[in-house]
Amino acid sequence: MGEREASNSCVDFTPAPTPISQSSSEAETSPASEVQWRPVVGSFRLALIQLQVSSIKSDNLTRACGLVRKAAAQGAKIVSLPECFNSPYGTNYFPEYAEKIPGESTQKLSEVAKECSIYLIGGSIPEEDSGKLYNTHPGTVSYIPQFADYFFKIDSPRPKTNFYAWATKFQLHCMCAPKCAYCRVGLGICYDIRFAELAQVYAQRGCQLLVYPGAFNLTTGPAHWELLQRGRAVDNQVYVATASPARDDKASYVAWGHSTVVSPWGEVLAKAGTEETIVYSDIDLEKVAEIRQQIPIFSQKRSDLYAVEAKKP
């Protein structure tokens, strides 16, 4: 058993943005071209929940929501839960823990996000859909009380014999409220962080923060966990955050832990140990602009020699 991947999407946490260098129609038809976005605020607080996951789903949901409330009370505006936050980690657990979406877990996430007026990235949960099992990346988005919260989800099937098989199903439902005031966020699950092209497309589409709920193990964790985050951050001049479950040495799959936030310069801004905790980091979008001005890789790429192209599934 090892890392796994999932389909992904760039979630717009900003008001309808105006590209600086091209029209909105050009941005839609040419996703691999650089777009600069103007967020309303220059900084915000990010929180990563490193949850100690148990075998009791209701306890996981209760504790996760409690930690989300705690993070919001400390000023977090975007909060992420870890991969498989409501279930023990492993495809052998999926038949027992999988649920429909919308369902119990997504309802709880939606309620707590709305209650706290935050953006909540729902890690991942096992989903059952038409007899198939998926590692689904649910997100509930709540802006301010007078706006309805919106729900998006990212699915990919988990073949029982192969954690590394690429996704064959992709569904995305994503909407943005007009008064959302932070930044554009690219989402992936665990193994997705190994694919540099995905992060490139996100950066080219205007993302300034990439979030990967993930559960590396005790082999890949010490070798690659921080290295991959710093690589994706420096390559694309974006913030990168990873939310891991807390380590349980008695579990059948032992997660590495060490939820982390990395700056666009490749600096580790915040890093957890292995225990249940909340990691906080202030995301300064002006820092993104400053680094991109100092080292203008987007404008200096040789598009006549190479390119990364996003394709519809």
Residue 185 has pLDDT above 80, yes or no: yes
What integer best gives the mean pLDDT of the chain? 79
Alpha helices in the chain (DSSP H): 24-29, 57-73, 94-97, 104-116, 196-204, 220, 226-236, 285-294, 297-300
Percent of the chain with pLDDT over 70: 73
Question: Stretch 160-171: mean pLDDT, rounded?
Answer: 32
- CATH ID of 9-300, from 1.10.10.10, 3.40.50.300, 3.60.110.10, 3.30.230.10: 3.60.110.10
Of 65-69, 141-145, 240-244, 296-300, the poorest mean pLDDT is in 141-145
Residue 55 has pLDDT above 80, yes or no: yes
> For residue 183, what pLDDT is reported?
85
The residues, ordered by sequence, that sit 6+ positions from 74 with a Cβ below 8 Å of its Cβ are: 45, 47, 278, 280
> For residue 148, what pLDDT is reported?
34
Of 39-48, 65-74, 101-110, 266-275, the poorest mean pLDDT is in 39-48
Q: What does the block give as tokens for 23? A: 């029209």
Name beta bridge partners: 122: none
Tokens 């919260």 sit on residue: 149
Residue 84 has pLDDT above 80, yes or no: yes
pTM of the model: 0.82
Of 229-243, 259-273, 298-312, the poorest mean pLDDT is in 298-312
Chain-centroid distance of CA 3 in Å reads: 15
Residue 276 has pLDDT above 50, yes or no: yes
Q: How many residues does the chain have?
A: 313
Measured between alpha carbons, how far is 192 from 157 in angstroms, rounded to an integer? 14
Cα-based distances in Å from 124 to 4, 70, 87, 105? 11, 20, 9, 10
> For residue 273, what pLDDT is reported?
98
Of 13-17, 207-211, 255-259, the poorest mean pLDDT is in 13-17
Termini Cα distance of the chain: 27
Give the angle 45-288-286 at the CA atoms, nearest 5°.
65
> For residue 38, what pLDDT is reported?
53
Question: Stretch 193-218: mean pLDDT, rounded?
Answer: 92
> For residue 93, what pLDDT is reported?
93
> For residue 25, what pLDDT is reported?
35
More confident call, 48 vs 162: 48
Q: What is the dihedral of CA 179, 181, 183, 189, to 10 degrees?
A: -70
